[in-house]
Amino acid sequence: MSGGVDSSVAAALLQRDGHEVVGCFMRLGSPGEELETPIDGAECKVGQARIGHQGCCSINDAADARLVAAKLAIPFYVVNFRNDFGRIISYFEEEYHAGRTPNPCVRCNDWLKFGKLRQYAEQLGCDAVATGHYARVAQTDAGPRIQRGLDRAKDQSYVLFGIGREALARMMLPIGEMEKPFVRGLAREHALPVSDKPDSQEICFVPDDYAAFLERRKPERFAEGAIVDESGRELGRHDGHQHFTVGQRKGIRVPATIPLYVLRKDPERNAVVVGPREALDVRAVEAGEVVWYGDERAATELVCTAQVRAHGAPIPARATVLERDGARVLSVAFDRAEPGVAPGQAVVCYDAEERILGGGWIAATFRA
């Protein structure tokens, strides 16, 4: 239970259907979290949440989750994953410093929500972990598969691709068959105090600009370098390649007769390569750390749609799972060029029924 309307309604629906529900809030150590110790015997005020019998946590989201759990009369636990969350922040930092484009939300689902939290649920004797994601679990002859949510504008199946078969077998997504306005209506019907709470938008541990966040943590990793064209000719200077992302146009500050875009970054030379818009087009990618739910024996091309961003449009494509140097590689060829695809992003493949075949983390891109 994150304290938002989606997970709150998910808990209410599970309770309505007769399940024994236990609410859990993950304490991650995001900016602004402070543990407060009240005076002995003092009550936790509205806007604070009790952690065991030790004190209060001033996070508004934890407070909202606690209020919803109280409304539903279900047990509520705050689990301290601060140390584990440090792994996600470190991943985020190292990917950017290595010139790649990370996705910490996917990693959080893989490592924490359906990793550490699933282990915690097993310790409590729970049969499944349920969340408020807009996605569905589809039962097939080959086992359960993740399917796009009914609300395509809110679909979150992409960020769940990496959880694996074991976690998927013990996963419930109660609002996957619903659209957001209907979910808010259910929250009002159940008189949940979060029915009109706005959706969260940004990465939870980055309170402002991501590059500023990185520079505050490790300023020594930032250094002046060259902005170059594709031939290597220097066009200008930058204050650190981490300030740029593939596809970026604004902020390059290089005089040119045509608009320039960031094509790629070279962290070894601390260089940012820029060029015209058409040079951003990618027609194929290769990905590692493959998680595959389709037929393991299929070595031929599979017609599918691919997605390379959390809210990106599906791309008609063909996918092949290969074995290379003892590891699986996912090769995806797009039927049309896709601009601004970068190493570090996830590529996720779907079948004709919008069920996830599998995905991986992009290691290489191939231009049109």
- The structure tokens 């015209």 sit at 276
Phi-psi label, residue 177: left if phi above 0, alpha if psi -120 to 50, beta otherwise: alpha
Are 29 and 86 spatial neighbours (Cβ–Cβ below 8 Å)? yes
Structure tokens belonging to residue 333: 């060829």
Whether residue 183 contacts residue 6, with contact meaning beta carbons closer than 8 Å, is answered with yes
* Annotated active-site residue in 24, 56, 105, 108: 108
Name residue 317's amino acid: A
Strand partners, 238: 225
| Contact yes or no for 240/252 (Cβ under 8 A) | no
- Are the C-beta atoms of residues 259 and 318 closer than 8 Å to each other? no
Let me know if 126 is a catalytic residue.
no
| Active-site annotation, residues | 108, 204
